[in-house]
Structure 1
Amino acid sequence: MEDANEVIAPLLGLPTLPVVDMGELPEIDDPVFSEDDWTAKLHWKTRALVETAAGRPFVWVDDEITEVDRSWVAAHHPGRALLHRVASDSGLTDADLVVVEEWLQAP
């Protein structure tokens, strides 16, 4: 979260950007997770990102985005939103940046 402005932004030549306060990362045994398949539930960041976007377009790049998150955002966010999942083993690639750039340039 806040570390992105200190670690990643300088590498990409970005200015300091606002950071969404998403609260604490839930523990695996918190009630938001199911014992059977906790990864199929809504991601713990999703609601906070939609609330912060407040109807404005937004891009969320993460290695944990699922169809549950995409469906929830489509139902609860009136603006445009790109939820782009990156591979956790390779991280953000040039191909991922092309997807984001094309989305940003779309009417």
Structure 2
Amino acid sequence: MKPLLLVDVDGVLNPFGRPNGDFRRYLCTIGADSYTVHLNVRHGARLMELALKTRSELVWATTWEHSANEWIAPRVGLPRLPVVPMEPKRPSERGESFKTPCVADYVDRRPFVWFDDHLWAADEEYLRAHQGVDDFLLVPVDPRHGLTMRHLAAAERWLTLSGFNQGRGQER
């Protein structure tokens, strides 16, 4: 079973702080709403490299849902990715993010790393108690700065040390 690399957009690929010169500004229009995003094309290459090195599958875990494939992926150099469906908000059970139950339902016992700027102890507690969730690593990202090499290195280290996909049979 291929591990999953779950990627959020806002606060992760689109930092809220003042972006440095590596970021380019875009105006994205989804329906009647327009958004300004700051994206770094290097993020796409780094995520793809991580996925290839660790034999993992990149997946959007963002409220942008399929719009991430239209607006974000081509601007950072990613292909179309699968999307975690973000159902309407459910009441929180433990104080977890509204996205956490959606992720828990999506992973189907596959190991995963989740890059997000809204990950707390309540999210980890929810995931540990949820049927269908086994091994995972939550990588909280500071939304002022977004995804860094440190986050990617932590994910690579965890996936490598955990030995997912090494010497195993069929991949999903």
Instruction: Give the alignment's TM-score, normalised by structure 1.
Output: 0.74
Does 2:100 align with 1:43?
no
Which of 41, 64, 68 matches 1:4?
A: 68
Provide the rounded CA distance (Å) in 1 between the counterparts of 2:68 and 2:155.
18
Distance 1:86 1:6, change over 3 A: same
Higher helix share: 1
CA drift of 1:87 comes to: 0.2
Which of 139, 143, 150 matches 1:88?
A: 143
Q: Residue 151 of structure 2: SS of its match in structure 1?
A: helix
Q: Deviations over 1:8-32 (max 9, x none)?
A: 43455432110011124x4xxxx83
1:36 alignment counterpart: none
Q: Residue 139 of structure 2: SS of its match in structure 1?
A: strand
1:32 alignment counterpart: 91
Provide the rounded CA distance (Å) in 2 between the counterparts of 1:13 and 1:47.
29
Provide the rounded CA distance (Å) in 2 between the counterparts of 1:13 and 1:105.
24
AA paired with 1:4? Answer: A
Bigger CA radius of gyration: 2
Distance 1:100 1:9, change over 3 A: farther
Does 2:81 align with 1:17?
yes
Gaps of 5+ in 2: 1-64, 164-172
CA drift of 1:4 comes to: 2.9
Counting matched residue pairs gives 96
Distance 1:105 1:9, change over 3 A: farther
Q: Which runs of 4+ in 1 moved over 6 A?
A: none
Does 2:119 align with 1:65?
yes
Q: Deviations over 1:22-44 (max 9, x none)?
A: 124x4xxxx837xxxxxx81110
Gaps of 5+ in 1: 34-39
RMSD: 2.2
AA paired with 1:17? Answer: L
Q: Deviations over 1:25-78 (max 9, x none)?
A: x4xxxx837xxxxxx811100111011101111121110100000111112144
Q: Residue 158 of structure 2: SS of its match in structure 1?
A: helix
Higher strand share: 2
